[in-house]
Amino acid sequence: MSHAFIELCHIEKHFAGVHALNDVSLSIRPGEIHCLAGENGSGKSTVIKVISGVYRPDGGEIRIDGETVHNLTPIASIDRGIQVIYQDFSLFGNLTVAENLALNTELREKRRLVNWRRIHALARRALDELGVDIDPSAEVDTLPTAGRQLVAIARALMSDARLLIMDEPTTALTRKEVETLFGIVRDIQRRGIAVLFVSHKMREMLEISERITVIRNGRKVAEGPTADFNEGLIIRHMTGHDISADGYRWEPPEEGAGTPRLELAGLSKEGAFSDLTMAIHPGEIVGLSGLLGSGRTEVALSLFGMEPGYSGDIRIDGTPVRLDSVQQAIAAGIAYVPEDRLTEGLFLGQSINRNILATTYDSIARHLVIDRDRASSLTAEMIRSLSIATPTGEKLVGELSGGNQQRVVIARWLLTNARVLILNGPTVGVDVGSKAQIHRIIRDLARDQGLAVLMISDDVLELVENCNRILLMHRGRLVAEYDAARINEEDISETLKSFK
């Protein structure tokens, strides 16, 4: 067995009275793919920042190549071959791929004049070594998420990396993109470079890693070879209890299904989707999946009035509606929770209360003056009923965990008395405990309030466990429908693979 490249020994870290890391030990060997698992707030990010020299531990010891390192700084960490790829990739969006890749080299070599031929050659070599086909002259902001991530990986490897830390690397990737990333991670491993894969996604941990370390509430609670773990055991270690999903069953009233809450007939939009026909009844949760570019997000945006110009019919509770604006969609009783809650769903610099009330101010104002008692009552009820973890509604929503942020978005739309709830990637970037709670909230809303729910997701298991029916889209058309109780995740995943 090879000696560890880096060891954290009994690390302690405090922040304003919070014990962020409590006696945490971790070792990573050369060429090892090691997964650090835990829920949001468990201490994963603090571990990353200790390894990368951003945080100085209050106690314990850091060893690199068997040598105790005192006062590890970010520069010293990089010099020793430690590279971190954070969720935002830390790239310059207005610069080209080549400029992003060559910048560190140019600064390190203290070059005073720009040689564009040399910069493009450096970039092309870095991308070729990674085996990816990305235009070095493209601006980074024009690349998809997966492309930006590959640029960040290529840049890290240019700095003679010995340990690559990847912080939640698959949060915004499709399954196909995840498979591509895993192939690259294994190639990196074959070069003898260690990878610390930081995640809360159980299946991905089991698929990519050789060893798993689980932390909960700042403590290490489990560690061992990946073969010793399964999904249930990881969930138990991460959350401290078992989480089960029995599947969601919607039963129509005795007299029959009745009038659909949402009904589409021949819905088409040029270049996006065509001839869509479906119905969702009160209390029913219908899943929608498909590969990137299948048209599923365009359907959601059209239903929420963000992409007008469709043809075909849309009915809400049997009444024809026209949805050419967000205002028309809200008035018709449609609520939309977007996939990217940070840029599309929340006002991060505003309080939880203000975010919850964002679509409700008109209804709680009298003569342009807000009824503050009514506002306070509504937000308190939403925080309580959706179990939003906060000491006060005045806390900034940007300070919440991903799961609590998602609940704030859902709370906002519930105050509009919505009849149709469209969820696009409802648990993207949410840890396993919060994910289960959000699923429970969605089920309860459908069952108790009669909401018709359209759940769009790449996570096939999420659809199987929470939906009554599952629809698949391909190239803008609905191509398959399944009863969730009679189909399994593997069968749907195989069907999706056949679309490639």
Tens-place pLDDT, residues 366-393:
767 778 888 899 999 999 888 888 989 9
Token readout for 257 is 């299904």
Determine the pLDDT at residue 232.
85
Gap between the Cα atoms of 50 and 33, Å rounded: 19
**In one letter, which amino acid is 17?**
G
Decide: 146 and 180 in contact? Cβ < 8 Å: yes
Please tell me the chain's helix, strand, coil percentages from 3-state DSSP, rounded to the nearest 5: 35, 25, 35
For the chain, the farthest-separated pair of C-alpha atoms sits apart, in whole angstroms, at 80
Q: Which residues of the chain have pLDDT under 70?
A: 1-2, 172, 243-248, 252-257, 342-343, 367, 500
Determine the pLDDT at residue 2.
60
Q: What ranges do the domains of the chain cover?
A: 6-239, 262-497
Decide: 75 and 52 in contact? Cβ < 8 Å: no
pTM exceeds 0.75: no
Same fold, 6-239 and 262-497: yes
Gap between the Cα atoms of 104 and 340, Å rounded: 30
Determine the pLDDT at residue 130.
83
Gap between the Cα atoms of 478 and 406, Å rounded: 28
Determine the pLDDT at residue 8.
96
CA distances from 312 to 157, 267, 319, 321 (A): 51, 4, 14, 11
Fold of domain 6-239:
Rossmann fold (3.40.50)
Strands 311-316 and 285-289: unpaired
Query: For 202-332, where are the E strands, in sequence order?
Result: 211-216, 219-225, 262-269, 273-280, 285-289, 311-316, 319-321
Token readout for 185 is 């991670």
Determine the pLDDT at residue 472.
96
Q: Rounded to a whole number, what is the distance in angstroms from the first to the last CA of the chain?
A: 41
The domain 262-497 having CATH identifier 3.10.20.310: the answer here is no
Torsion 359-363-366-367 (CA) sign: positive
Determine the pLDDT at residue 340.
72
